[in-house]
Amino acid sequence: MRNKIIITSAIVLCCLFGLIGCSKPQPSTLKLGYLPIAECTPLFVGKTENIFEKHGLNVELTEFDAGPTVIAASLGGSLDGGLSGVTPIFFAIDKGKPIKMVNDGGHVVPAEHPYVGIVVAVNSTIKSIQELRNKTIAVNGLKTIEDALLRVALRKANIGDSANVVTLPHPNMVPALERGTIDASMAIEPYIAMGLSKGQIKVIVGSEDLIPSFQISAIFFTDNFIKNHSDLIDKFTVAYNEAIDSINANPVRAKEIVAEWTKTPLETAKAITLPGWSKELNTEGVKEAQSAMVENKILERAVEIDQFIYKVGMTK
């Protein structure tokens, strides 16, 4: 009996001082790539409001300029996954790269000003997309969703490939428009709100003319990470959806958080158009996006999308 008392007392003391495994379990780490755009709001909110931590996750976020570089870093082993437009994901899948889409990275919803659009300098004489023939237009990266949307719009306007498409990070586009080194750019929030609030840009083609109902972007993970850590992805999805609830319940606070992560002035951030997020990836919307890309010869062929989407509990 005396030995039992001594052992029990020792265990209690060890737990109190954290000397043996009685201390709080350390959170599991997820390494994700993000872009400094409003589509990443659930990631920003989940991190800032400690939602991920509440679910036992330490989500490490690393900034990138475009989806293809997030995918490349993930395939290279420095990330587990991240956010990308669906177009780079389609290109990766077509090349046999081992990734799967998991969560809704954002879709367009009706708003006062567009979430994404073609913009020009406020003093530009360009008033319509038809005037972009032979002009220089910036996108944040080739084979991105913005690049794809621009090329779809140019083809619909019978401009085809006559425009000179160059790449610039989103924060550098408005200064380039003002200097006259580019004629137009494919802009996205929060940079549209920033440019409009400062009287620097005007929108000539908005979301409603660019984007049907299809998915813009997605959170993806590598196949290897899904195979070995599906439980963490399931936890992440629960936390990610809680972040979506937080955004819907308090969009003002969500925009404040976007301002912090994207270095947007707070007053400007209040005017940001946020995309919408569903708690489950819109498979039909992803298929519509792929169909549009194939139809406009941005993608050579369609792939069977269902096998490249991971849903919570699939590996159980």
> Residue 114 — pLDDT band, cuts 50, 70, 90?
confident
| SS3 state of residue 296 | coil
Residue 197 has pLDDT above 70, yes or no: yes
Give the pTM. Answer: 0.82
| The pLDDT of residue 89 is above 80 | yes
* 13, 234, 269, 271 from 204: Cα distances, Å: 69, 41, 21, 19
Name the phi and psi angles at 309, rounded to 5.
Answer: -120, 130
pLDDT value at residue 303: 84
pLDDT, residue 137, reads: 97
The average pLDDT across 269-287 equals 89
Q: What's the mean pLDDT in 63-89?
A: 96
Specify the CATH class of 28-107+214-308 in words.
Answer: alpha beta
Q: Where in the chain is the domain with CATH 3.40.190.10?
A: 28-107+214-308, 116-210
100 DSSP assignment: E
The pLDDT of residue 290: 87
Evaluate whether 85 touches 211 at the Cβ level (below 8 Å).
no
| Beta pairing class for 136-139 and 164-167 | parallel
**pLDDT surpassing 70 at residue 294:** yes
- pLDDT tens for 12-37 read 444 444 444 445 567 799 999 999 99
| Model confidence at 236: pLDDT above 60 | yes
What pLDDT does 253 receive?
97
Q: Looking at residue 313, what is its pLDDT? A: 61
Q: Regarding the domain with residue range 116-210, which homologous superfamily does it belong to in the CATH classification?
A: Periplasmic binding protein-like II (3.40.190.10)
Single-letter code of the amino acid located at 74: S
Per-residue pLDDT at 186 exceeds 60: yes
Q: How much is the mean pLDDT over the chain? A: 87
